[in-house]
A and B are shown apart, each in its own frame.
Chain A
Amino acid sequence: MSAATLIARDELRLLARNRIAVIATVLLLLLTLVAVATSWAHQRGIAELRGRYQHKAEAAFKAQPDRHPHRVVHYGTFLFRPLGALAAFDPGVDAFTGNLMFLEGHRQNGANFGDVRQSSLLVRFGQLTPAFVLQVVAPLLLVFLGYGALARERERGTLRLLMLQGVSRRALVVGKLLAVGAVALLAGLPAMVGFVAIAGQPGALALPMLVTALGYLAYLALWVVIILLVSALVRQSRDALLALVAIWAVTAVLLPRVVPDVASAAVPLRNRFQTDVAIARDLRQMGDSHNPNDPHYAAFKQRVLDRYGVTRVEDLPVNYKGVQGMESERLSSALFDRYSGESYAAQSRQIALVDTAGMLSPTVAIRAMSMGAAGTDFAGHRRFLDQAEAYRYALVQRLNRMQAEDVSFADDSAEDAGADRRKRVAASNWSAMPDFAFSPASGADLARGALPGLAIVLGWLGVAALLLGLATRRLGERR
C-alpha cells in the first residue's frame, strides 16, 4: 500500500472518530435526501397542476358556443409553462417567472402568478433543492471536515515527523486529497442518486445530465483542492478555518447577490409602463385603424381593392374587417417582437455580465451551468415565451382569417336584432384549432448552454490544482 493511501486511510479514520464530523455528514446526507424528495414531489405537483389547468383551458376553448371570430380573439387562451424533468434537480428561475400566460389579440401579456409572489418571505432565503445543497451547503461541510488536514499536522509538529519518516510532500498532499475527496464524493452521492432517479422519468436527457454530473464533480473537487491549498498555506488551523469560511461566504453567499445587482444597475430594463406607452406611440405613427383618413390604412385598403379588382369594400369577396384585423395584428405583433426583443437582449446582456463574474466565484459559474443544463435558466424561459408568442400570433391570425372568409362584410356591419346571430361561426371551428405544444430544448442544446459554466469551473479547478502543486513543494518549510 502506497504512502498516499495510508495517509488517506488515516485521515478518514480520524474523521470517522470525530463525532461532530460524522453528525455533520449525516445531517448533510439527510438534508440532500429531503431536498431530493421535496423538490421532486414539488416538481411533479407543479407539472401535474399545470397539465391539469392546461387541459382545462384547452377544453374551455373548444367548448365555446357559436361565436364571432373576433370575440374568440378577445376570449383568448391560457398557456401554462411546462416544467422539464430536470427542474426537479434544479428548478432555476421557475419560481421567479410567472407560469401562466394569457394569449389574446392586440396585446402581448407577460407571464403571471410566479411562486415568488405567493410564497412567504422565506422563499428569498433560498430554495431547498439538490442543486442548492450541492452548490452552497456541501462546500461548507467540506470546509469543516478538511480545514485542518494539513494545518493541523504542522501545528502539532507531526508534519516534520512524517517527513522525517520519509513520507514525501506529494504523497502527503495526495493522501489528504484522497481523504477529503472521498468525503466530497459521499456528500455528493445522494444528490446524484436523486439525479438518476429523476433520469428514470420520461423526458430526462442523457447529455445534459452527464454535463451536470461532471460539473458538480469538478465543483466539489475544486473545493477540496481549495481547502487543502489554504490548509497548506496558513500557519494555524484556526486561520485556515476562518479563511475558508470567509472564502465560502464571499464566493457562495456574497458574490451571487452582489453580481446580479451590479448587472441590473449596469444594464437598465425598460419597465412595462414605458414599453406599453412606447408601443402605443409607434402604433399611432404606423397607422391608426380607427381613423378612416389614416394614410397607412387608406393605402392598404386600396391595395386590397386593387388585388380583387373592385372599387368598394362591400364588393370584396372577403370581409374587409377581417383583412384589416390581420394587417393591424401584423403591425402590432412586429412591434411587440421588437420591444420584447430589446428587453430580452438587455436581459441577456445582464446575464452575460453575471456569467463573466463566474470568473470571480465558482458558485456563480456552477449555478449558471446547472440551470443551463436543466433548461431552467432565462434562456429556457425565453424559449417558452418565444413559442407562446408564435402560437398567439398564429391563433389570432387564424381567427382573423376566419372572420375574413366565413363572416360576410354585410353581416359584420349590420346592427339589426338578428345580426348578432348571423355574425357567428359554428362552434365546431374551435375544436379544430391546434393546441399549443411546447417543444423543449434538445439535449445537445441544453448541454451546449451549460458548457461555458462548466469551462469556468474546470478552469478554476486547473488553476487551484496548479497552486496546490506549488504549495506542496514548499510545504513544511520554515517561514
Chain B
Amino acid sequence: MTLLGHELRLLSRQRLTIFALVLLACLTIAAIAAGMAEVARQRAAIAAIPAAQAEDIGAVAAFVDEKKDAGSAAYYSFHPTWDAPAPLAFAALGMRDVSPYILRIRALGLEAQVWDGDNFNPELALPGRFDFAFVLVFLAPLFVIALFHDLRSGERETGRERSLAALPGGRGLWRRRTAIRFALLSAALALPFIVAAAVEGVAVATILVVLLLIASYLLFWIGLAALVGRLRWSSVANAATLAAAWLVLVLVLVVPTLANVVINAALPVTQGAEIVMAQREAVNRAWDIPREDTMRRFYARHPEWADSAPLGTSFHYKWYFAFHQNGDESVAGRVRGYRDGLERRDAAGRALGWVLPAVGVQALLTRIARTDLTAQLAYQDRIRAFHGQLRAFYYRYLFRDLPFAAADFGRAPRYEDAPHG
C-alpha cells in the first residue's frame, strides 16, 4: 500500500499526466451531458405527441362524423408511432440522429410511408456525434498513449532504469505503475458513466458490460503501448509509433473509411428507390384496370373480407384500400431484398469489429444501447405490425359498410412502444 502511495505521489507531480486525466474526465462528462441532453430532447419530442395527435385527430373526427364515412376516417387519420431511446442511448446515440424516431402513418400503402425520414441538418450530422462512445473509441487511446509511451523509456532516458531494476521489488514496479495509470484512466471514463447510467436507470448488468468494454479497450491500447515499449526506442519514437498506430494500425480513421468503401462496393443494395417507384406504379395502375381484378386479387390473399358486398359503379374506399394493399404486397420481395442488403452490410461492418477493436467497441455499444441498424429495423417491424392492426381495424368498417362515428376514433388501435429493459 505504501508503495502504491509513493507511486501515486510521484504521478501527482507529473503535470502532463494530471492534465491528461483531468482533461479526459472533463471530456467524458461533457460527452455524457451532451448525450443526456439529446436523449432528453428526444423523450420530450415523444412526450409531446399525444397533445398534438389529439388535436389533429379531433379535427378529422369532427368532419368525418358528419357523414360517418369509414373510408374518409381511414384516409385522413394519421397515427403516430415512436421509438423511445433505451436507457443506455445517451452513451451511444448511433443512428438516432439520422433515422426517424417518430413517424406517423395512415392505413394506406405502407411502402410509400415507412421510408420517410425526419428533419435533421445534414451538415451537423456529417462529422458524427459527440457522445460517450466517441470519447471512448476515438479519444481514450490518445490518453493511453500520452500516459504510457514513456513508461519505461522515460526512466531509461533519465538514467534511472538500472537503479530502479536493482531495487528490491523492482520487478513489480512496472506492474504497479501500469495498474495505477490504468485505474486512473478507467476511473476518468467509468465514474461519470456510472453516475449517468444510474440517473438514466440503466440495468446493473448492462452497466457491468459497458465497464468491461471500457476496461478491455483500454487494456488493448495499454498492451500495444507495452509492445512498442519493448522495442526500447526513445520516448519520442514510441509516441510517434503509437500515434501512427492510432491513425492507421488500429485503424480508427483510415481503415474503417476504406472498409466502408469496400463493403458498399462489394454488397450493393437494391436501391430503396426501386421499392417506392414499383409500389407507386402498382398502386396507380389500379385506376386503369377493371376494379374487379383488383378485388379478386385482394380477396384471394385476404379471404376474411371476400364476403363483402360487390362494388357498385360509384367510388368505394374499400377498393381504394385494397389496391393500396395490393401495391404493398407486389413489392414485398423487393423490400425483403433491400432489407437483406442492409443487414448484410451491417453484418460486414460489425464483423470488422473482430479485427478492429475501435469498430468492435462502437458496434457493441450501439447494439446494447439499441441505437444501431438492428434497432432501426426492429422499430420498422413494430411500425409494420401496427400498420397491420390499423388495416384490420378500418377494414372491418369498410368491408362491412359500418358507419364510422366520432366515438369510433377512440377504438382505433394505439401504438405501443417496445419495453426497454
Contact = CB atoms under 8 A, between A and B. Distances in A.
A270 B119 contact: yes
B247 interface: yes
Contact of B284 (A74, A253, A263): A74
Contacts of B171: none
A260 B123 CA distance: 8
Given A93-B123, A121-B350, A274-B52, A284 B256 contact: no
A377 interface: yes
Contacts of B287: 67-68, 71
Interface stretch (B3-11, B184-192, B326-334, B340-348): B340-348
B30 to A, nearest CB: 8
B359 A121 contact: yes
A271 B139 contact: no
B122 A128 contact: no
A43 interface: no
Contacts of B247: 137, 140
Contact of A136 (B112, B150, B253, B272): B253
A280 B56 contact: yes
A438 B222 CA distance: 54
A5 interface: no
A249 B277 contact: no
A253 B138 contact: yes
Contacts of A291: 63
A273 B80 contact: yes
A38 B372 CA distance: 26
Contact of B359 (A60, A71, A122): A122
Given A117-B98, A122-B263, A415-B313, A78 B273 contact: yes
A254 interface: yes
A417 B145 CA distance: 81
B63 A288 contact: yes
B121 A347 contact: yes
A92 B126 contact: yes
A215 interface: no
A97 B122 contact: yes
B239 A257 contact: no
B180 interface: no
Contacts of A75: 280, 284
A119 interface: yes
B63 A271 contact: no
A290 B244 contact: no
B56 A114 contact: no
A114 B98 contact: yes
B115 A113 contact: yes
B257 A125 contact: yes
Interface string A415-451: 1110100000000000000000000000000000000
A284 B78 CA distance: 16
Contacts of A136: 253
B139 A112 contact: no
A23 B25 CA distance: 35
B127 A260 contact: yes
B28 interface: no
A416 B314 CA distance: 7
B194 interface: no
Contacts of A167: none
A238 B239 contact: yes
Contacts of B53: 277
Interface in B42-94: 45, 48-49, 52-53, 55-56, 59, 63, 78, 80, 94
Given A264-B121, A276-B78, A271 B45 contact: yes
Candidate in B78, B116, B117 with the most chain A CB atoms within 10 angstroms: B117
A307 interface: no
Contacts of B241: 20
A249 B142 contact: yes
- Tell which of B63, B104, B118, B124 has the most Cβ of chain A within 10 Å: B124
B257 A128 contact: yes
Nearest to B285: A65
A266 to B, nearest CB: 11
A377 B124 CA distance: 11
B146 interface: yes
Interface in A399-429: 415-417, 419
Interface in A69-128: 71, 74-76, 78, 80, 92-93, 96-98, 100, 102, 109-128
B130 interface: yes
Interface stretch (A49-57, A196-204, A225-233, A326-334): A49-57
Interface string B238-282: 011101100110001110111111011100010111001100110
Interface string B139-174: 100100110001000000000000000000000000
Interface in A351-392: 351, 354, 371, 377-378, 381
Contact of B120 (A78, A100, A269): A269
Nearest to B134: A257
Interface in A23-62: 24, 27, 31, 34, 38, 42, 49, 53, 56-57, 60
A268 interface: yes
B244 A100 contact: no
Nearest to B351: A120
Contacts of B264: 115, 119-120
B219 interface: no
Interface in B281-332: 281, 284, 287-288, 313-315
Interface string B373-405: 100100000000000000000000000000000
Contacts of A122: 256-257, 259-260, 263, 349, 352, 359
A275 B116 contact: no
Contacts of B269: 118
Contacts of B150: 238
B406 to A, nearest CB: 16
Interface in A337-359: 343, 347, 350-351, 354
A100 B123 contact: no
B37 interface: yes
Of A49, A57, A117, which is in contact with the most chain B CB atoms at under 10 Å from its CB? A117
B285 to A, nearest CB: 9
B117 A98 contact: yes
A128 B260 contact: yes
A276 B55 CA distance: 12
A397 interface: no
Given A75-B284, A122-B349, A273-B80, A110 B59 contact: no
A118 B99 CA distance: 11
Contacts of A378: 121-123
Contacts of B183: none
A241 interface: yes
B363 A121 contact: yes
Contacts of B273: 53, 78, 80, 100, 113
Contacts of B18: none
Given A67-B288, A116-B98, A140-B247, 15 more contacts: A27-B248, A31-B254, A71-B284, A78-B276, A93-B126, A112-B115, A115-B264, A120-B260, A122-B256, A128-B257, A144-B240, A238-B235, A242-B16, A254-B130, A261-B38
